[in-house]
Structures are given as structure tokens and as C-alpha cells.
Amino acid sequence: MYPHGNKYSTDCISLYLCLGASDELRLESKKVFVMTLSILDQKNGKHLTATSGLWVCNNGCGWGWADFFGLKKLKDPSGGYVVGSSCIVKADLTIIGSSNDG
């Protein structure tokens, strides 16, 4: 998470999910995921959500959005996305399929 944006978008929050290599992602295996990232609205229940298909390779690559949501709207107290100093980000992953290169 880049709370003040990254080099591609400085007026938005940037969110990315990167998966590291683990026993679950064997070196010879590649997996196809559907990824959903959300910023939870802690007051009104109107969450900001983006979903993308994702091919996760064996070297721990990831995916995300440079311009997930505008900072001005994110910081607006009536929106409920930042309460006090807390912003809740939720990530959901669903494995769609996998393949082995060997």
C-alpha cells in the first residue's frame, strides 16, 4: 500500500498485492487467481472494491492499482474510510487454476 500514491499516481492511494514464493506455491507451479482488494467503509458500509484476474508466477509477482481511490475522497471524514488514524484494507484471493511447467 502506498498511502500517498506511487510514482504513477500521486493524488490516489495505490494498492498492490504481491505473493512471495512459499511451500504453497511450489517453484514449478504457476497459479491463476482472482484478486479482490477493498478499503472498508467503517461508518456507512459502502466499501471500495476492485477485482482483477491475476496470473501469479513462481517468482512471487503481484498485481494492483496505482490509482485505486482518490486521496481527497479517502480522507473525507464523512466517507468512513479513515476513522481516527485507521484505514482497513481487505484482500481476498480465489485460486482459479494452476499449471506445472515440468
User: Per the confidence metrics, is the pTM higher than 0.95?
Assistant: no
> What is the Cα gyration radius of the chain?
16
> What percentage of the chain carries pLDDT values higher than 70?
76
pLDDT in tens, 14-23: 888 876 655 5
Quickly tell me which residue has 495505490 as its cell.
14
Instruction: List C-alpha distances in Å: 2 to 28, 70, 88, 97.
Output: 31, 12, 14, 29
Which of helix, strand or coil describes residue 74?
helix
* Domains in the chain: boundaries: 12-17+30-97
Residue 102 has pLDDT above 60, yes or no: no
pLDDT in tens, 40-78: 999 988 899 998 876 665 555 677 888 998 999 999 989
Instruction: Give residue 18's pLDDT.
Output: 75
Which CATH code fits 12-17+30-97? 2.60.210.10
